[in-house]
Structure 1
C-alpha cells in the first residue's frame, strides 16, 4: 500500500486553488456524498482566514528586533510550532513576534491596563 504524505501547506494550497465545484462529492460523484453547504462555506471561510493570516505572518518584518525572549512552552505547543514551520516555512520567532504584535493590536485595552498599572505603582 502506497501512502502519499502531504504537508498542511500543500493541502491548504490545493484547497484554496480548487473551486467548490471541483471538490469530491460536489458534483454528485458516485460513492461520495456531497458535504452539507454550511460545512463547505465554513471550510472556505477557515481556509481564506488561514491564508490571510499566513500572508500577514510571512510579510511581518521582525529583522530589526534585537531583544530576545525565552518563552517557556509545553511540549505539545513546541511540537505544533515545529509542524507549523515545516508546513508554512515560518519559524517560531516570527510566529511568536507576530502573535504578540497582533494581540496588542487587537486588544488595545491591554496597553491601557499596563499604562494605568505603572502610573499607580509605588516603590
Structure 2
C-alpha cells in the first residue's frame, strides 16, 4: 500500500476548509455575495465562515490595481500573514487589499466621515 506524503501547508489548507466536525463544507455561492454588506450584515448577526472568507478573498480581483502602499506592520503580523500565505496560497497584497475593501464595505460610516471631513477642510 502506498502512503501519500502531505505537506504541512496542505494539511492546514484542508483543516481550514473543513469544519470541526470533519465533513466538507458544501455551501455554494450561487452568484450571491458571500459576505453581506453594511447594515444588513450587522442586523442579521451573521458571521462568515473561514471557508467563505477564503473563497471571497481568493476570488477578489486586484489585477487592475496599480497603486502601491507600503504598510508598516509589526513582526507578529508579518509572520501571521506569511503563515496565512502558506496555508491558503493567498498572498499578503491580496489579503490587505481585500481586508481594506471589506472594512469600507462593512462600515460605510467611515466613507461618510471622510466626505464630511473633506467638506469642512479649510486651507
Q: TM-score, normalised by structure 1?
A: 0.69
Contact 2:17 2:50 in 1 (8 A): no
More helix by share: 1
Contact 2:57 2:95 in 1 (8 A): yes
Cα-to-partner distance string for 1:28-83 (whole Å, 9 max, x where unaligned): xxxxxxxxxxxxxxxxx98x700000000000000000000000000000000000
Q: Structure 2, unaligned stretches of length 5 or more?
A: 1-5, 25-45
The correspondence of residues 89-100 of structure 1 with structure 2, limited to 5 A, is 89-100=89-100
Match of 2:80 in 1: 80
- Which protein has the larger Cα radius of gyration, Structure 1 or Structure 2? 1
Q: What's the RMSD between the two structures over aligned residues?
A: 2.5
Runs of 4+ in 1 over 6 A off after TM superposition: none
Match of 2:8 in 1: 6
The correspondence of residues 41-80 of structure 1 with structure 2, limited to 5 A, is 49-80=49-80
Q: TM-score, normalised by structure 2?
A: 0.69
Q: How many residues align?
A: 95
Match of 1:102 in 2: 102
